[in-house]
């Protein structure tokens, strides 16, 4: 469905707090049912058994005699792989006041040693069979559920059985060794520090205001410092045995396996599972009630912007899933989308006070029904932004919607349903499994795209302005209003004074009479005729080894085409030109960032971004712009039956990009807001100053400051990209579910008939950044948040020495794994650490192998020494065969998958291959080259590039006296 997400800042924070929030969900997907009061939401009770909706017929549901449940789906994308999740109906909501954080602590402990996988062995085991810790194996703790993830590299009987053995150990065989508890305690405290941000602090305080006196408001999954410091083995074991019982566990498996074999193996592994402690009743959600006008103010001076919001929240259990519920939700989402379009249109106007606005309605957290309209703005614009969203909301409530607005929503929602059906044959395991988990935990019926289209298409067709208006009024029916202002707006020293100002501004806005929506003029696209003249193909070559067809038109436009069956109903394209960020003038360090945003939000010369969205309603094709390191790129995502439209859009963007002053002003405000936020965090300091330091002070590196941002003018952007856009060589790459001849014809009609362009030639010389060998820098950050960041970087080389670049990538993986063991597991000094290699595409002999760690500032010396020792030891003594195997096996798995994706072929092989034809060989040598890597080669690479005397070190710490441990933890509920 049309995506109408819960406001982005809350989605981000919910994901940080609880990666598996079971009911927050997309607005575009109805939030689903709840359950009767006091009913335990055991995941083995299937929602379709209490619904008039039928589940996807491809699903296999099962339940063992002990209550353990499973749901399976056979799927061949990616080929040979199996996505597996163990979902425990146990999260932070189930903790007692003394246990706050124990569900998350237990999740960590399951990776720290089980009966069949002792301490330190589980991650190494996964690596040896081709899995990478994080992407392929991980755990997530939420309010209601804890989920353990495995992405098996193979779906044969042996690998499935071993994967199920791991899951069986997670279910009941944790060792919970005291020594491992102490080590993990330090890691969890480091994770708590890592997750501490101004947005997180704002979320916690807002949550307590929105859901006062409820248990869940005091159950952040990360827990409280006091509890984390006092958790012991007995506490962990009690929670484990109480809540990880067979009836609360569900296995989800999606992938390339034999369902009969899978069911037999599940029976073998889990039939003997038994509860080890008495069952406890499901905790109550608690009652909350809002009445009248209530305001909330929370000041975070380190935030980059201000958020204003108007909300209603009621304690309303989600209805049981049904045809009627889904249909009503759809109408509500359509109404929200219309108001969302109005907000977008306002944002694009010249004097709009906000930089972004959103609207949402639906259920989340099982017992909360909410509606919210919100905006992001500069602090001085909070009153005007609040007034504008209040009046936008009231205009919709009082006057409803126009026929044209409803028709646009109908086209968009109908197209989304139809595209989902077309995409279904090649949906990936992870996408299906993730949706399955969401549906199971929300007690929703998981249906196929075809079932959902058949259910909802008639509702879309019958939608009227009156129906949508009625649904919208129903969502906002509660008589109370919550009005919130949070972020960097400094309203008053005292919160109560700030709240009074907010109330006064809201009441003042209510005095303004609102008019009904204006009728919009009809718009036309395309408005530019195709070029006159006939395209002449100079050369057409089929490269049999790769399946790529290269076409050279006489006007010096190059086209590379690859027809694939990797993803049904997907077409990706890119038009590349110029030299990108590497050509940015040294005296204009914000030009790249501003150009990227202005072109993306400026629409076309004769159609604003909002107008372009209107004329494209009901279509799938969209175009975006990127300033890459070595080129400018217009990228398109499309579908097979919109090939002509895709080339029309790309042609219009090339011929008539929208250089709009409104987009310039909005982009400057957005980037300034981002800079303010970055300037108060250690990671932000790395983006602003650290990256520039590693480039020897080169102005093309590092995030630009407000002064540089404010200097950029529309003519600067136009003059920078126009010569390459209008005269330089153009490269077009298209890959996906296409008809090759149709693509060549369309490309010829729109680009092959353009006036003659310059041919490819050697890139103009650019200044190469000067890496600061054997230098260090310490950066102080004005922040209350007590965390530091250490970075150690080694100079390497560019990507065009692909043989060396691949070995440096493997070396970085080995470096990263040693950091995980030494800094995270042994020292317990960091939750977020790792290493990577970044070879340059634009600068000769420039690249970085970089290690980083987010740390407790008090542990900076120990971590700094550990990081330096890892590099020195690898340089002096090299890696082991086992380390190489554990680095390479996940890489082989990744390679086998990525070469069967359109994204790989477009972005790695085809895009830019006109000027760098060597890229076309990369796919042919990729697996073989990595397979040939030896320990001696890695050790030679380490000896050459990890020289201690060449390293540069960055220390980023809070300014002395600024840091604190955050606001007080919520009171026990």
pLDDT, residue 580, reads 96
Q: Are 657 and 602 in contact (CB under 8 A)?
A: yes
Alpha carbons 408 and 490: distance in angstroms, whole number: 40
Run of H or E residues at 253: strand 249-255
Alpha carbons 665 and 668: distance in angstroms, whole number: 5
DSSP for 52-113 reads: SSPPPTT-EEEE-TTS-EEEEEE--SSTT-EEEEEEES--GGG--GGGTTHHHHHHHHHTS-
Let me know if residue 386 belongs to a domain: yes
What CATH number did the domain enclosing 819 receive?
Answer: 3.30.830.10
Residues 645 and 547 in one domain: yes
Residues 266 and 310 in one domain: no
Q: How far is CA 609 from CA 374, 660, 726, in A?
A: 21, 10, 22
Count: domains in the chain: 4
Alpha helices per DSSP H over 348-428: 382-399, 403-423
Q: Are 728 and 557 in contact (CB under 8 A)?
A: no
Task: Find tokens 């690859």 and name the residue.
Answer: 562
Residues 6 or more apart whose Cβ sits within 8 Å of residue 906: 572, 573, 574, 733, 735
Closest CA to 441 of 886, 915, 903, 19: 19
Q: Are 233 and 178 in contact (CB under 8 A)?
A: yes
DSSP for 175-200 reads: ---HHHHHHHHHHHHHHHHHH--HHH
Residues 673 and 784 in one domain: no
Residues 723 and 838 in one domain: no
Decide: residue 321, CB within 10 A, 0-12 exposed, 13-18 middle, 19+ buried.
buried
Let me know if residue 653 belongs to a domain: yes
Residues 846 and 806 in one domain: yes
pTM (predicted TM-score): 0.91
Let me know if residue 365 belongs to a domain: yes
pLDDT, residue 136, reads 64
Residues 441 and 547 in one domain: no
Residues 862 and 722 in one domain: no
Residues 6 or more apart whose Cβ sits within 8 Å of residue 883: 814, 817, 818
Closest CA to 687 of 703, 708, 670, 673: 703
DSSP for 630-684 reads: S-EEEEEEE-GGGHHHHHHHHHHHHH-B---HHHHHHHHHHHHHHHHHHTTSHHH
Residues 259 and 186 in one domain: yes
pLDDT, residue 765, reads 59
Decide: residue 763, CB within 10 A, 0-12 exposed, 13-18 middle, 19+ buried.
middle
Task: Find tokens 């003038």 and name the residue.
Answer: 585
Q: Are 634 and 561 in contact (CB under 8 A)?
A: no
pLDDT along the chain (973 residues), means of 10: 39 36 28 34 72 97 97 95 96 97 97 91 83 78 96 92 95 96 93 92 96 95 95 98 98 97 97 96 95 97 96 96 96 98 89 93 95 97 97 97 96 97 95 96 96 98 97 97 97 90 97 90 90 91 91 95 96 97 95 98 95 96 97 98 97 96 95 96 96 96 97 98 93 97 96 87 73 97 94 97 97 96 91 95 95 94 96 97 94 92 96 92 92 97 98 96 60 48
Let me know if residue 352 belongs to a domain: yes
Residues 681 and 786 in one domain: no
Let me know if residue 973 belongs to a domain: no
Residues 302 and 259 in one domain: no
Let me know if residue 50 belongs to a domain: no
Let me know if residue 708 belongs to a domain: yes
Residues 6 or more apart whose Cβ sits within 8 Å of residue 134: none
Q: Are 221 and 15 in contact (CB under 8 A)?
A: no
- For residue 870, list its beta bridge partners: none
pLDDT, residue 968, reads 58
Run of H or E residues at 207: helix 198-210
Residues 215 and 98 in one domain: yes
Domain finish residue from 255, 270, 285: 270
Token representation of residue 546: 């790769």
Token representation of residue 390: 């209040």
Domain finish residue from 689, 718, 752: 752
Decide: residue 284, CB within 10 A, 0-12 exposed, 13-18 middle, 19+ buried.
exposed
pLDDT, residue 22, reads 28
Residues 553 and 642 in one domain: yes
DSSP for 259-310 reads: HHHHHHHHHHHHTT----S---PPPP-------SEEEEEEE-TTSSSEEEEE
pLDDT tens digits, one per residue of 107-162: 999 999 999 999 888 888 888 888 777 766 789 999 999 999 999 998 999 999 99
Let me know if residue 36 belongs to a domain: no
Residue 872, domain extent = 776-958
Decide: residue 351, CB within 10 A, 0-12 exposed, 13-18 middle, 19+ buried.
exposed
């Amino acid at each position: 469905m049309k995506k109408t997400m819960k406001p982005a800042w809350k989605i981000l924070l919910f994901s940080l707090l609880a990666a598996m929030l079971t009911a927050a969900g997309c607005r575009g997907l109805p939030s689903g049912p709840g359950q009767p009061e006091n009913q335990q939401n055991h995941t083995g009770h299937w929602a379709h058994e209490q619904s008039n909706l039928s589940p996807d017929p491809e699903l296999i549901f099962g339940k063992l005699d002990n209550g353990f449940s499973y749901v399976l789906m056979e799927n061949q994308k990616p080929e040979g792989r199996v996505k597996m999740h163990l979902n425990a109906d146990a999260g932070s909501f189930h903790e007692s006041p003394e246990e706050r954080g124990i569900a998350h602590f237990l999740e960590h402990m399951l990776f720290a040693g089980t009966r069949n996988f002792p301490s330190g062995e589980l991650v190494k085991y996964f690596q040896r069979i081709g899995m990478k810790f994080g992407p392929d194996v991980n755990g997530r703790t939420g309010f209601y559920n804890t989920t353990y993830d495995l992405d098996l590299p193979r779906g044969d009987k042996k690998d499935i059985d071993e994967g199920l053995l791991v899951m069986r150990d997670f279910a009941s065989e944790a060792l919970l060794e005291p020594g491992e508890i102490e080590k993990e305690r330090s890691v969890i405290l480091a994770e708590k520090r890592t997750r501490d941000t101004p947005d997180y602090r704002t979320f916690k305080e807002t949550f307590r205001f929105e859901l006062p006196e409820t248990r869940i408001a005091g159950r952040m999954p990360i827990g409280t410092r006091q509890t984390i410091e006092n958790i012991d083995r007995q506490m962990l074991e009690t929670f484990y045995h109480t809540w990880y019982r067979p009836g609360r566990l569900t296995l989800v498996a999606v992938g390339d396996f034999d369902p009969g074999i899978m069911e037999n193996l599940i029976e073998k592994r889990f039939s003997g599972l038994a509860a080890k402690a008495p069952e406890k009743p499901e905790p109550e959600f608690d009652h909350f009630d809002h009445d009248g006008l209530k305001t909330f103010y929370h000041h975070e001076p380190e935030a980059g912007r201000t958020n204003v919001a108007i909300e209603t929240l009621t304690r309303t259990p989600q209805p049981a899933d049904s045809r009627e519920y889904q249909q009503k939700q759809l109408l509500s989402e359509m109404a929200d989308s219309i108001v969302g379009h109005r907000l977008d249109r306002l944002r694009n106007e010249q004097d709009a006070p906000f930089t972004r606005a959103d609207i949402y309605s639906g259920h989340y957290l099982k017992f909360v029904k909410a509606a919210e309209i919100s905006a992001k703005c500069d602090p001085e614009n909070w009153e005007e932004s609040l007034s504008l969203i209040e009046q936008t909301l009231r205009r919709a409530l009082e006057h409803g919607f126009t026929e044209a607005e409803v028709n646009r929503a109908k086209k968009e929602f109908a197209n989304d349903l139809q595209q989902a059906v077309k995409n279904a044959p090649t949906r990936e395991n992870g996408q299906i499994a993730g949706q399955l988990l969401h549906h199971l935990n929300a007690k929703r019926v998981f249906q196929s795209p075809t079932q959902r289209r058949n259910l909802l298409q008639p509702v879309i067709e019958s939608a009227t302005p009156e129906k949508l208006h009625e649904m919208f009024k129903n969502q906002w029916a509660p008589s109370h209003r919550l009005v919130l202002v949070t972020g960097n707006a400094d309203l008053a020293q005292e919160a109560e004074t700030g709240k009074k100002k907010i109330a006064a501004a809201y009441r003042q806005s209510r005095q303004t009479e609102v008019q009904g929506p204006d009728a919009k003029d009809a718009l036309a696209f395309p408005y530019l005729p195709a070029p006159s003249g006939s395209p002449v193909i100079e050369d057409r070559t089929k490269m049999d080894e790769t399946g790529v067809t290269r076409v050279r038109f006489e006007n010096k436009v190059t086209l590379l085409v690859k027809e694939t069956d990797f993803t049904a109903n997907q077409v990706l394209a890119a038009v590349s030109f110029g030299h990108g960020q590497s050509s940015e003038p040294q005296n204009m360090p914000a030009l790249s960032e501003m150009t990227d945003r202005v072109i993306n939000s400026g629409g076309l010369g004769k159609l604003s971004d909002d107008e372009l969205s209107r004329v494209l309603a009901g279509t799938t094709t969209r175009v975006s712009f990127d300033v890459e390191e070595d080129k400018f790129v217009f990228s398109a995502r499309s579908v097979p039956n919109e090939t002509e439209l895709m080339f029309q859009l790309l042609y219009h963007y090339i011929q008539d990009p929208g250089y709009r002053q409104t987009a310039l002003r909005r982009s400057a405000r957005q980037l300034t807001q981002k800079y303010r936020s970055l300037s108060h965090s250690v990671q932000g300091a790395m983006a602003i100053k650290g990256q520039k330091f590693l480039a020897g002070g080169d102005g093309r590196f590092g995030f630009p400051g407000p002064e540089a941002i404010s200097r950029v003018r529309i003519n600067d952007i136009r003059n920078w990209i126009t010569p390459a856009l209008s005269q330089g060589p153009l490269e077009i790459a298209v890959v996906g579910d296409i008809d090759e001849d149709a693509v060549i014809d369309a490309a010829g009609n729109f680009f092959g008939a353009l006036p003659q362009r310059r041919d490819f030639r050697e890139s103009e010389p650019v200044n190469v950044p000067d890496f600061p060998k054997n230098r260090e820098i310490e950066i102080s950050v004005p922040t209350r948040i007590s965390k530091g960041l250490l970075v150690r970087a080694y100079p390497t080389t560019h990507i065009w020495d692909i043989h060396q670049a691949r070995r440096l990538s493997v070396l970085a993986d080995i470096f990263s794994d040693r950091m995980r063991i030494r800094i995270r597991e042994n020292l317990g000094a960091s939750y977020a650490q790792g290493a990577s290699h970044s070879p340059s595409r634009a600068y000769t002999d420039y690249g970085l192998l970089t290690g980083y760690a987010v740390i407790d500032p008090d542990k900076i010396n120990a971590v700094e020494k550990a990081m330096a020792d890892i590099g020195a030891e690898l340089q002096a003594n090299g890696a082991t065969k086992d380390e190489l195997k554990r680095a390479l096996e996940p890489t082989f798995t990744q390679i086998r998958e990525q070469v069967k994706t359109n994204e790989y072929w477009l972005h790695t092989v085809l895009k830019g291959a006109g000027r760098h034809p060597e890229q076309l060989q990369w796919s042919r040598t990729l697996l073989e080259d990595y397979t040939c890597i030896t320990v001696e080669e890695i050790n030679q690479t380490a000896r050459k590039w990890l020289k201690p005397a060449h390293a540069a070190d960055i220390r980023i710490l809070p300014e002395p006296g600024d840091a604190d441990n955050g606001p007080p933890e919520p009171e026990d509920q």
